[in-house]
Structure 1
Amino acid sequence: MATAEVNKPPSLPPYPQMILAAIESLNEPNGSNKTSISKYIESKYGDLPAGHTTILSHHLNRMKDTGELVFWKNNYLKADPNSPPRRGRGRPPKPKDPMTGSDLTPARPRGRPPKDPNAPPKPVKPKVSSGSGKPRGRPRKMARPTGGMSGTTTAAMATGGRPRGRPPKEKTAMTEVSVEH
């Protein structure tokens, strides 16, 4: 038991208290940055835990989130109790309305709601002509002429001499090869 008491480091005040004391004593007009706060704590309290910088960063972030400190231009300042809270970036969240709780209204099911069979039918709009006499959209394809000739010559005649697409592959005549042993 005696060795545990000897190896025990001297008691340090809580980190938030040390941070606030450092900011007050440094008394910089634009606030104090993390390194100056850390150097002040090291000089005043001497023997600090091994992860001092990590612990300091954690407490600075927590104090900034709770509103005890204000982070402005990479410096930490004590929060002024009379100043309005600083807004973060982005759109603020919508306020929660206590009247629209899940107890009062049931949740709507997913998907499109079913048609109401008792609803009156929708009125039909009369078609309005464009005035030009032509139908709207792309015109229909003309049917291919069918005749007594073969399909390739008919297509060649219709298009003006040359058939459409890639020409057919020429088939070479197969010759038998005899293999002698």
Structure 2
Amino acid sequence: MRSGKTLSEIAPDVGVSAQAMSRWENATASFPSERVIPFLKAIGATEADVEKEIAHLTDPSSILAPAREGKWWHEFPDDLEKHVVGDEVMSPWVEPGESVWVHRDRHPRRMEGCLIEFKDGTTKIRLYERGKDGFYFFKRLDTDMSEQVLHSDVAGIHRIAFRGH
């Protein structure tokens, strides 16, 4: 309401239907964490506002605040880790120097962004495709081919909850 826009006007920017957003408003459906940033941008929030909201939402004491009980942000993950993108293979989805916030306790769904943590301590950001026959398959955006990684080389695959500056 503060933005002066209707749900139908901002829904395309958020990537969902106006009906889905209405369910979030009425607390009949959970507000998916990956839609928070597009939602904030669609209603005209500044980058500083977005950073402030992420910092606030990732603070465990604010997550459990009684005033927010029962709202979409009540279930917001409190253990997000910030990582800075180092290479260009996922451009334009994420650019070098941009930040991603990783949720360590959630495995990505198909074609969802993830941080691959290797047993040697290195990390990569990719889109998760699938695991099959002792391999994981990941999508890079700088090529049409999938990247194949042995299960035994991977320490963890963690879902990216947010991306951007």
TM-score category (smaller protein): under 0.3
* TM-score normalised by structure 2 residue count: 0.22
Higher relative contact order (CA 8 A, sep 6+): 2
What is the TM-score normalised by the length of structure 1? 0.21
